[in-house]
Amino acid sequence: MLGRRSLFLLLPLFAGLAAVIGWPLLQTVWLSFTDAQLGDATGNFVGLANYAHAFRSHGFRHALGVTITFSLSTVAIEMVLGLLVGLLLDLPLRGRGILRAILIIPWALPTVINAMAWRVIYNPDFGALNALLTQTHIIGAYRSWLGDPGLALASIAGADIWKTFPFVALVTLAGLQNVPRELKEAAYIDGAGPWMRFKTVILPAIATPLMIAAVLRIIDTIKVFDIIWVMTRGGPANATKSLSIMVYEQAFSFGNAGYGAAIALLSVAISVVLIGGYMRATRAQTASA
Amino acid sequence: MTQYRSKKRFFLACASLLALQIGLAEAASANTVLHGLFMSQAGYSEADVRAMTAAYVKMHPDVTVDLEFVPYESLHDKILLSKGSANGYDVVLYDVIWPAEFATKHILQDVSDRITPDMKSGIEPGAWTTVTYKDREYGLPWLLDSKFLYYNKAILAKAGITAVPTTWPEVIADSKIIKDKGILQYPIAWSWSQAEALICDYAVLLNAYGGQFVDSAGAPAFQTGGGLDALTFMVDSLKSGVSNPHSTEYLEEDVRRVFSAGQAAFALNWSYMWALANNNPKESKIVGQVGVEPAPGVPGKSTISSVNGAMGLGIPTASKNAAAAWDYITYLTSQKVEDAYTADAIPMWKSSFEEPALMNGPLGPMAKAMETTQTQLFPRPFVPNYPQFSAALQTNIQQSLLGKAEPAAALKAAADTITGD
C-alpha cells in the first residue's frame, strides 16, 4: 500500500523527467534515423544511413580520435594529480585551510572564463607562458600554442586539467575523512610502510568516491565543447575538433539535424562503453584488494 | 465608522491601481515590439546601434525595439535557429555569404517589392550583392566593407622604402627588406585561423590572382589557376619567413593588436581597423603612423583586390511585424544615419563619398581606399551550402599553411569534400 502511495507521489517527478529528458531523447533518436534539416522538422526516414555515413566518414573517425585522446589523457592526469594533491592537503600542514580554499578557485571558475584566461596565457605574441618559457630559456622563441596542430590539443588539455584536478583533490579529501584514525595508527604500529598503508588502508576508503569522480569526468570530457569552442573552435586544421564540435557544426552550422543527432548519440554510446569498462575494472580491483 | 472609511479608501485605491494596470497593459499591447539581432564586433559598435535605435524610438513612440548583440561567430546559427522559435526576430543583421542559404531555406523575407528606385540608384552597386540572390532582394545593405592593405609608415621609412607597394609581389619584396634589416622578424600579419577570416584573406588573394571560387555551373574552381596561385603565395610567404607564422591562430582582432603594437609592417584587415589603429591612442601604439590602401593586385592579372565583406539587414519570414521592421531598417540604413556614424563604418551611399567632412576628415584615407575598392567588391560564392563550402576550404587551406599538404593537394581535397567525392 505504502509502495503504491510512494509511486503515486513520485508520478509528478517521473512526468517531469519524461517531459524534460525522455521526450527530447526520443526525438533525438528519431531524428538520427531521418535526413531532417534544421528548421525543417519533416525529414525522410533513412534508417541507419546516418550512422553508416558517420562510420565511413574520415571526419567522424578523426573527431572520435580527438575526443578519446582528450578524454583519456585529461582524466588520467587529473586523477593522479588530484589524488596526490588531496593526499598532500590531508597532511597536518600549516595554512592547510587556506590552501584548501585556494584549491577550489579554478574549479569554481566558469569554463568559458577559464578558456578565455588560458587563451590570453597562451597568446603567441603577448602571452605569459611564452614570456616565462623564453625568459627561463626553456624555449628559444615565442610559439603559437593554439595555432600548431601538434600542440593545440595538449594546450587545451592543460587548461582543462588546471580547472578540474581540484575537483578530484576535493573528492579525495572527502574520502580521506572516512578513514578512521585508529586504523591508520594500527597499520603504522604494525610496521606497514607508506605504500602498504596507502594500498590497504587509504585506497579502499577512497576508491568509490574516486570512481565516481572518474565517471563524472569521463562523461564531461567525452562531451567536451565549451573550452575547445572558446580556445580554437576545432582548429587548427581540425586538430581539436571533438565529437561535440562536430555535432554543433553538422546540426547548427550546416543544418544537418539528422546526421548531427546520429553523431550525438554515438558520442553518448562511447561514454557508456568507457564508463562501463572503467566501473568493471575498478570493481574487480576493489574486490581483489 | 472611521475604520469603514479607511477600508473603503483602501478598496478604491486597489480598484484604481487595477484599472491603471489594465490601461497600461492595453497601451503596451498597442505598441509594436521589434526584436533585433545585431553583432557586437566590427562595423557599427553596440553603442552606435543603441544610439541609432534610441533616436528611432523617440520618433516612433508606439514602437519598442529589443536589441540583442552576439559575436559574429554566433550570428548565422542564431538566425537559422530562430526559424523554429515562437518569439523570433523581426530584424536580423546578416553577412554577404548567407543570402543564398537564407533564401532557399525561406529564412528571410523577399523584400524586392519594398525597395524604392531612390534606394537602388543611391546605394553603391557593390553593396547590393550583399542582399541579392537570383535577382531578388532579401533585405537592405547596411555595412560596406572589404579587406584593405594597412602599412606602418614609420617601419617603411626606417627600411628606406619610399613607395607604398601596389602589387602583392612588391609587398613580399618590401617585407624581405624589412626582415633582412632586422627591423621586424615577421613583417606581415594575416587572420589565417580556422574561421571565415581565413576565407576572406584567401578571397582577396584569389581575386588578385584572377581566380574564381566556383565555375558557371557552381562547381568548385579554386583548385586550379588563380585559386591555386593564391594558396601557393600564402604558403611561400610563410616559408620565406615574411608572414607571421602565428597568423594560423589569428582572427582579425589579433591582427589588429599585433599591427597596433608596431609588430607588423603590413596587415590585411577590414575598414574598422583604421580608426582604432591610426586614431585611437588607447588602442594603438602607432597612432598617426598608419597608411591604408586598397588591397594590391598582381601584375598582368589585377590592379587591386578585394573581398565583399558587406552586411545587410533583413526580416525573418516568421516576423509578424514586417512593416514596422522594414520602417526601422530603412531608418538604420538611411544616408542621414550612416553619415552621422562614420567613426566605425564607411557609408554605402554614393553621394556620401562627395562629403568633404568624410573625405578630408580623420577617416579620409580609409574612405578614399573604400571609394576605389567598392566599385569591384569580390564576392565569396553564392552557394546555398556556403557553411560546408567554407568549412572544407578552411580545413584544407590550413593543412597546407601548416605544412601538412601541398597547395594543389589541399585544394583538391577541399573541392572533393564539397562535391562529395
CB-CB under 8 Å, A236 with B398: yes
Chain A: nearest CA to B208, how far in angstroms?
25
B73 Cβ under 8 Å from any chain A Cβ = yes
Average pLDDT, chain B: 90
pLDDT recorded at residue B14: 52
Rounded CA separation B416/B217 (Å) = 16
- For residues B222 and B324, membership in a common domain is answered with no
- For residues B316 and B298, membership in a common domain is answered with no
Dihedral (CA of A91, A93, A97, A100) sign: negative
CB-CB under 8 Å, B246 with A147: yes
Chain B: nearest CA to A238, how far in angstroms?
6
**Contacting residues of B for A38, CB less than 8 Å apart:** 80-81, 83-84
Rounded CA separation A31/A261 (Å) = 6
Asked if residue B92 lies in contact with residue B79, where contact means CB atoms within 8 angstroms, the answer is yes
Confidence category of residue B17, pLDDT binned at 50, 70, 90: low
- For residues B165 and B124, membership in a common domain is answered with no
Confidence category of residue B24, pLDDT binned at 50, 70, 90: very low
- For residues B213 and B96, membership in a common domain is answered with no
For residue A106, pLDDT beyond 50: yes
Chain A: nearest CA to B363, how far in angstroms?
29
B84 Cβ under 8 Å from any chain A Cβ = yes
pLDDT recorded at residue B362: 86
- For residues B61 and B196, membership in a common domain is answered with no
Residue that wins the pLDDT comparison between B67 and A91: B67
Above 0.85 for ipTM, yes or no?
A: no
Question: Percent of chain B having pLDDT more than 90?
Answer: 68
Residue of A nearest to B263 (CA): A125
Question: Percent of chain B having pLDDT more than 70?
Answer: 92
> Do the domain assignments include residue B165?
yes
Amino acid letter at B211?
G
A112 Cβ under 8 Å from any chain B Cβ = no
CB-CB under 8 Å, A125 with B246: yes
Q: Which among A39, A149, A249 is the nearest to B402, CB-wise?
A: A149
Residue of A nearest to B82 (CA): A39
A106 Cβ under 8 Å from any chain B Cβ = no
> Do the domain assignments include residue B12?
no
pLDDT recorded at residue B27: 44
CB-CB under 8 Å, A254 with B246: no
Q: Best-predicted range by mean pLDDT among B17-26, B239-248, B347-356? A: B239-248
Residue that wins the pLDDT comparison between A272 and B36: B36
> Do the domain assignments include residue B10?
no
Number of structural domains found in chain B: 2
pLDDT recorded at residue B2: 45
Q: What is the dihedral of CA B285, B290, B294, B296, to 10 degrees?
A: -90
- For residues B90 and B234, membership in a common domain is answered with no
Residue of B nearest to A147 (CA): B249
Percent helix, strand, coil in chain A (nearest 5)? 75, 0, 25
Q: SS in 3 state form for chain B?
A: CHHHHHHHHHHHHHHHHHHHHHHHHHHHHHCEEEEEEEECCCCCCHHHHHHHHHHHHHHCCCEEEEEEEECHHHHHHHHHHHHHCCCCCCEEEEECCCHHHHHHCCCECCCHHHCCHHHHHHECHHHHCCCEECCEECCEEEECCCEEEEEEHHHHHHCCCCCCCCEHHHHHHHHHHHHHCCCCCCCEECCCCCCHHHHHHHHHHHHHCCCCCECCCCCECCCCHHHHHHHHHHHHHHHCCCECHHHHHCCHHHHHHHHHCCCCCEEEEECHHHHHHHHCCCCCCCCCCEEEEEEEECCCCCCEECCCCCEEEECECCCCCHHHHHHHHHHHCCHHHHHHCCCCCCCCEHHHHHCHHHHCCCCHHHHHHHHHHHHHCCCCCCCCCHHHHHHHHHHHHHHHHCCCCCHHHHHHHHHHHHHCC
Q: Give residue B41's domain range.
A: 31-145+309-376
> Do the domain assignments include residue B141?
yes
Asked if residue B263 lies in contact with residue B247, where contact means CB atoms within 8 angstroms, the answer is no
CB-CB under 8 Å, A39 with B107: yes
B245 Cβ under 8 Å from any chain A Cβ = yes
> Do the domain assignments include residue B21?
no
CB-CB under 8 Å, A147 with B193: yes
Residues B105-123 have pLDDT tens digits of 889 999 999 999 999 999 9
> Domain of B36: which CATH number?
3.40.190.10
Chain B: nearest CA to A19, how far in angstroms?
19
Residue of B nearest to A41 (CA): B84
Residue of B nearest to A255 (CA): B80
pLDDT recorded at residue A187: 83
pLDDT recorded at residue B355: 86
B80 Cβ under 8 Å from any chain A Cβ = yes
Residues A265-288 have pLDDT tens digits of 999 998 888 778 877 877 776 666
- For residues B257 and B400, membership in a common domain is answered with yes
Residue that wins the pLDDT comparison between B85 and B386: B386
Half-sphere exposure (Cβ direction) of B305: Cα atoms closer than 13 Å: 30
A146 Cβ under 8 Å from any chain B Cβ = yes
Confidence category of residue B28, pLDDT binned at 50, 70, 90: very low
B391 Cβ under 8 Å from any chain A Cβ = yes
B246 Cβ under 8 Å from any chain A Cβ = yes
pLDDT recorded at residue B260: 97
Residues A3-54 have pLDDT tens digits of 788 888 899 999 999 899 899 999 999 999 999 888 666 788 999 999 999 9
pLDDT recorded at residue B221: 96
- For residues B112 and B128, membership in a common domain is answered with yes
For residue B42, pLDDT beyond 80: no
Rounded CA separation B241/B259 (Å) = 17
B70 Cβ under 8 Å from any chain A Cβ = no
pLDDT recorded at residue A237: 93
For residue B414, pLDDT beyond 90: yes
How big is the CA angle at B93 (ends B103 and B133), to the nearest 5 degrees? Answer: 25
- For residues B400 and B253, membership in a common domain is answered with yes
Residue of A nearest to B105 (CA): A39
A253 Cβ under 8 Å from any chain B Cβ = yes
> Do the domain assignments include residue B67?
yes
Asked if residue A85 lies in contact with residue A203, where contact means CB atoms within 8 angstroms, the answer is no
Topology (CATH level 3) of domain A34-288: MetI-like fold (1.10.3720)
pLDDT recorded at residue B62: 92
List own/partner pairs for B224-232 with CB under 8 A and 24 or more apart: B226/B301, B227/B411, B228/B407, B228/B408, B228/B411, B229/B298, B230/B202, B230/B205, B230/B206, B231/B202, B231/B205, B231/B397, B231/B400, B231/B407, B231/B410, B231/B411, B232/B407
CB-CB under 8 Å, B257 with A235: no
Q: Which among B80, B193, B194 is the nearest to A39, CB-wise?
A: B80
- For residues B159 and B256, membership in a common domain is answered with yes
